Amino acid sequence: MTRPTPDHGISFAEAVKTWAQIAALSFGGPAGQIAVMHRILVEEKKWIGEGRFLHALNYCMLLPGPEAQQLAIYIGWLLHRTKGGLVAGGLFVLPGFLAILALSFVYVLLGHVPLVEGLFFGLKAAVLAVVAQAVVRVGSRALRNGAMRGIAAAAFVAIFFLGAPFPLIVLAAGLAGYAGGRAGLAQFGGAGHGGHGQGAIVHDRDTALGEGLPDHARPDLRWSLRICGTLLLLWLGPVLALFLTLGDEATFFRIASFFSQMAVVTFGGAYAVLAYVAQQAVEGFGWLRPGEMLDGLGMAETTPGPLIMVTQFVGFLAAYRDAGALTPLLAATLGAVLTTWVTFLPCFLWIFAGAPFVERLRGNRALSAALGAITAAVVGVILNLALWFAIHSLFRQVRPVTIATGTIDLPVLSSIDPIAAALSAAALVAVFRFRMGVLPVLAACAVAGAAIRLAV
């Protein structure tokens, strides 16, 4: 039986146009992307209200993956059912995918041209400041008491000194927070999300969608099983096919399986998982050199879409350097597509599977506490990422040092790159002293890096 069209009066064509507009403006990481959605959907168009927007955001914060894209899927589904969610989520990723793919071609074809080399050299310096800013920004929100600071410190020690895998850190922090929340400990009280606008609150009753729940948004086990089964097949089917045809040593299978695992554990935003991705891509699989991860992060910071799009660059280079029977550029393109597919398709699964039942999560203290503990652990993980990037980008040489739990890389102080250090220092001053935005700082450092490379 066909369900009636939602009576909110918003045509699907108008929605597609709006989601394309949001995607084109989605710079500045999740905070900026969520702010753009809030301004357009809540304040300007009044399609949904403040309460419903924040309720959807709180649910997305509980999920692995980019919360901004998942919020777009959620609202798109709420307005226009399954096709609305697919279009909203797909358009959110498309501009960034095309931009990073183009930049990746430039990187491998023209990377040794002084101008291009200088641009990426400058971007690396700025990215260090951006990651440091993320540590401060997330830490100021998450480390609100001694328990949260202790979790952050433990996460840093676990990943930097013990080499603990990121998924294990997420699991341990989440369990600790859940237990603290169930026990009613005040230190584990879940933090809420503040509003996004400074003007008058837009109430649900005054919006196109209204206060009621559309019929298609109510729990429907039959629909849930059908859509979840389809998405699982689309996600894991290619992974299994690559395993059966190429074997578990093939680069394409490793790309598919590794980033599928990442899609399940990327709690706390892109910066958290990037440390683990960088470690595995550089030291585990040998897909990238240390400085190249910074190049990819610079691409993701300067293009629209989720920051986790940097994984596309990793998959591109991995396939480019192990193309097998394919030409390197064709293999690289397929690697980028495959990485994007297994990274973002699960986001649709999480939303479509859980959104109809999300009302049951409202006010759940234990789940909120688990999220808070994971966010605190993320601060320690991002700090590890900042140090890892600094060691491998500011110094030309590193040396392994043996400690009780294994080895860690420490910089050879005499090998410091003074120009890279000066650019990074300038970027830090611009970000923290003058409160400059991410894009102007990245642009300024890229231009400075190009000028320096052309001058020497």
Per-residue pLDDT at 108: 92
Note whether residue 205 is domain-resident: no
What is the sign, positive or negative, of the torsion defined by CA atoms of 117, 122, 125, 128?
Answer: negative
Query: What does the pLDDT look like over 236-254, one tens digit per residue?
Result: 999 999 999 999 999 999 9
Note whether residue 199 is domain-resident: no
Q: How far apart are CA 251 and CA 239, in angstroms?
A: 12
Per-residue pLDDT at 354: 87
Per-residue pLDDT at 4: 42
Note whether residue 433 is domain-resident: yes
Note whether residue 295 is domain-resident: yes
Q: Which domain holds residue 174?
A: 12-190+219-455
Per-residue pLDDT at 194: 42
Per-residue pLDDT at 200: 63
Note whether residue 2 is domain-resident: no
Note whether residue 438 is domain-resident: yes
Contacts (Cβ under 8 Å, ≥6 apart) of 238: 256, 338, 341, 342
Per-residue pLDDT at 360: 58
Note whether residue 197 is domain-resident: no
Give the residue ranges of the chain where pLDDT is below 70: 1-7, 27-32, 58, 141, 189-200, 267-272, 359-364
**SS3 sequence of the chain:** CCCCCCCCCCCHHHHHHHHHHHHHCCCCHHHHHHHHHHHHHHHHCCCCCHHHHHHHHHHHHCCCCCHHHHHHHHHHHHHHHHHHHHHHHHHHHHHHHHHHHHHHHHHHHHCCCHHHHHHHHHHHHHHHHHHHHHHHHHHHHHCCCHHHHHHHHHHHHHHHCCCCCHHHHHHHHHHHHHHHHHCCCHHHCCCCCCCCCCCCCCCHHHCCCCCCCCHHHCCCHHHHHHHHHHHHHHHHHHHHHHHHHHCCCCHHHHHHHHHHHHHHHCCCCHHHHHHHHHHHHHHHCCCCCHHHHHHHHHHHHCCCCCHHHHHHHHHHHHHHCCCCCCCHHHHHHHHHHHHHHHHHHHHHHHHHHHHHHHHHHCCCHHHHHHHHHHHHHHHHHHHHHHHHHHHHHHECCEEEEEECCEEEEEECHHHECHHHHHHHHHHHHHHHCCCCCHHHHHHHHHHHHHHHHHHC
Number of domains the chain is built from: 1
pTM over 0.85: no
Block residue for tokens 């989440």: 174
Note whether residue 78 is domain-resident: yes
CA-based nearest residue to 51, from 269, 214, 210 = 210
